[in-house]
């Protein structure tokens, strides 16, 4: 296998989304299915711009989004596809970008957004099973 042909992540997993967690004190507080979207690529940058444009129209009477709001919009509208563990009055809350944005806007939930943001930018979370990419040979000592 040529070194230059090795994939750095599983494209299908990156597009469909990997299940990532927000954890504190050894307890999982939220599971979220998130996509890997490279904001440094033209298509990734365009996705983030579209999401921010959509939200900016309805945000706080037209005030500009602050840095945290920008990050949450990217997470909720671009990266996230689903979630588990979010309830209201004991009933599951269906995922939607609007619900995710509202959930992460609550001060006590911001830490979860920050963890997920970091994990969505870590390509190692989207590697999946790339064992077919490598020819593994048994190494023996002489």
Q: Using one digit for the tens of pLDDT, what is the confidence trace for 68-93?
A: 888 898 899 999 999 999 999 999 99
Of 2-11, 12-21, 26-35, 67-76, the poorest mean pLDDT is in 2-11
Give pTM, 2 decimals.
0.76
**CA distances from residue 53 to 5, 7, 28, 56, 105 in whole angstroms, order as listed:** 36, 32, 32, 5, 18
């Amino acid at each position: 296998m040529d070194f230059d042909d090795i994939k750095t992540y599983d494209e299908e997993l990156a597009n469909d989304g990997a299940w990532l967690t927000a954890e504190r004190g050894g307890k999982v507080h939220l599971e979220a299915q998130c996509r890997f979207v490279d904001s440094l690529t033209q298509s990734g940058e365009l996705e983030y711009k579209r999401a921010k444009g959509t939200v900016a129209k309805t945000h706080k009477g037209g005030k500009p989004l602050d840095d945290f709001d920008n990050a949450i919009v990217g997470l909720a509208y671009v990266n996230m596809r689903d979630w588990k563990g979010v309830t209201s009055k004991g009933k599951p809350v269906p995922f939607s970008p609007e619900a995710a944005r509202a959930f992460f806007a609550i001060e006590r939930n911001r830490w979860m957004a920050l963890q997920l943001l970091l994990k969505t930018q870590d390509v190692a979370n989207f590697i999946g099973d790339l064992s077919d990419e490598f020819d593994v040979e048994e190494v023996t000592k002489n």
